[in-house]
Amino acid sequence: MTDLPLTIQAIKEAYATKTISPRELILQLRSQALAQADFNAWITLLDEAQLEPYFSALANKEIDELPLYGVPFAIKDNIDLAGVPTTAACPDFTNVPELSAPVVEALVSAGAIPLGKTNLDQFATGLVGTRSPYGEGKNVFNQEYISGGSSAGSAIATALGQVAFALGTDTAGSGRVPAILNNLIGHKPTKGLLSTRGVVPACRTLDCVSIFALHAEDAAQVLEVAAQFDEQDAYARVNTYANKKRYFGAVPSSFKFGVPDELDFFGNSETQALFQKSVEQLQQAGGTPVSISFAPFIEAAKLLYEGPWVAERWLATQNVKLESMLPVIQTIIGNGNNGKASDAFAAQYRLAGLKRTCDSIMQGLDCVIAPTTPTVFTRAQIGEQPVKNNSILGTYTNFMNLLDYSATAVPVGFLSSGVGWGVTLFGNAFTDVTLLSFANILLRANATNMGATAYPLEQVSSTGTPCPPADIDVVVCGAHLAGQPLNWQLTERGGSLVACTRTSPNYALYALPDGKRPALVKLNTPGSAIEVEVWRMPAAAFGSFVCGIPAPLGIGKVELEDGSELPGFICDGYGLEGAKDVSNFGSWRNWLSEKAAS
């Protein structure tokens, strides 16, 4: 597994400092995906020959020229990638498209590299991730539990650190349920903001391409690139999100958010407690909770599968024999041709009335917070009651596209099973950036380490219940020491001093040519023990801290005098040209004092 944090900034910084090349990173991640095959994340992984054109396309490009230069991503296998089979998790449906879906093409043009096509609930019908002939998707924290679906593979691949972000689809919650169960951001954009041309339809009037990411800021950046108006998509809408990225993270000092008056957690006290904690965290950030009636939202949700919209799923798959589908999919889609045209109109009339009521309730609110799922299920429980338990998972997700709202699912904690859980923030159409910014508040408040990439492979692959670290200790030796000019970069991220200690006696300390920064270098021969400090910071803040470190410095493992190793500042060899060895002073502070005296 690569040690590189798979955030867009960290990846581009690693390329800029020549720590790793796109080819090296992508091939490492491909090998990692093969090693973690038991999670059933992938249907098709691109081989080296298929990846070669993407590497070649970057050869004459500057890193800063492309916003997603060399960033690896995954594509749900109901979205077209040119020259690669699209299966929708149904072998008999398989076709090889000549062109990529416009949303994929936009990302590739921005420099992103697809690692392959991911597993899903067949024909994107399900919220569980177990309805696939390519294997049941498994939760990355406890394989006995569902990964969530239908975009199961996209969530799993992102959570395991095989890609930096992934595309899913979301008609009834497929981009949100697997996100929170695997400790990810899952953004369901405004309908029509991302083109759905080249996407196998579930319900064409409702479908959205969704985004999985480790952090809200990355999701916002991917959204900005992907949200290109597509004239050939009849359901595309004008992109009012354009040029809004500069507002990401900016939220009013005081705001109002809706809280549903009656919620059913189906007896799960843990999810109920995490929801209440999230409400309190929004309050602490300046939010005023407003109790709202949720009955009309729930009534709208029931229309999706109890109303005529199931006919759209039948229409999209009418050229596929029912016997080619999994039994549960046959049951759901097979009933789609039993309604009458009058039923469709009656449902549209009812939905219009509910939309008016819900919009009125939303008036004056900056967003609404709701559970993403009431509870969670094991794969065995889904197998026992596949329709009933799937329906429970969609209690608070199914209404979103029917009512034309945008939504962001946010992980807020872990259950005793080890499985992640989270809430959804939703608002009116085209409030995408606002929702991602509010999501960032909850991420910072919970300081969770996004995804499962912090864990060794054997821990992630087990059926145990790993506990993600809330904090990370980092060794500093120079300008980040207490009282030094850059110490604020630690304290503003909630950092606190843990220990004043020394490295093992195998190090050299250099003053870089600018005279402002030290370079700590481990030697193959005996050297000096250098005074350092250990600072502890929230894990969620560690990525942004690392991304701000300028070359030739970086973060690696530093050996302390007690033999332990912690993340800390190191220097690439090329950066030592013209540097001065100041090891004999024993610390950066001593060197600065001597320099000032002379």
Measured between alpha carbons, how far is 388 from 40 in angstroms, rounded to an integer? 24
Annotated active-site residue in 151, 154, 174, 195: 174
Tokens of 419: 């499985």
Tokens of 160: 């395991």
Helix (H) or strand (E) holding 499: strand 496-502
Annotated active-site residue in 100, 132, 147, 150: 150
Question: Phi and psi dihedrals of 419, rounded to 5?
Answer: -80, 145
Measured between alpha carbons, how far is 384 from 380 in angstroms, rounded to an integer? 6
Q: What angle do CA 292, 128, 92 make, to 5 degrees?
A: 130
Concatenated DSSP letters of 454-481: TS-HHHHTSSS-----SEEEEEE-STTS
Annotated catalytic, 150? yes
Q: Is 500 exposed, middle or buried (0-12, 13-18, 19+ CB in 10 A)?
A: exposed
Residue owning tokens 């979205």 = 79
| CA nearest neighbour of 317 among 301, 335, 302, 305 | 335
Measured between alpha carbons, how far is 130 from 153 in angstroms, rounded to an integer? 11
Residue owning tokens 């959204």 = 223
**Do residues 212 and 189 lie in contact, with contact meaning Cβ atoms separated by under 8 Å?**
no
Tokens of 544: 């942004």
Annotated catalytic, 195? no
Q: Which amino acid is at 326?
A: L
Concatenated DSSP letters of 22-70: HHHHHHHHHHHHHHTGGG--EEEE--HHHHHHHHHHHTT--GGGSTTTT
Assess whether the previous peptide bond of 552 is cis (omega < 30° from 0).
yes
**Do residues 532 and 568 lie in contact, with contact meaning Cβ atoms separated by under 8 Å?**
yes
Annotated active-site residue in 76, 117, 188, 191: 76
Measured between alpha carbons, how far is 109 from 68 in angstroms, rounded to an integer? 9
The count of C-alpha atoms lying within 13 angstroms of the C-alpha of 85, restricted to the half-sphere facing its C-beta, is 14
Tokens of 247: 């507002």
| 3 state DSSP class of 132 | coil
Measured between alpha carbons, how far is 38 from 457 in angstroms, rounded to an integer? 12
**Do residues 290 and 365 lie in contact, with contact meaning Cβ atoms separated by under 8 Å?**
yes
Would you please indicate which residues are annotated as catalytic (active-site) residues?
A: 76, 150, 174
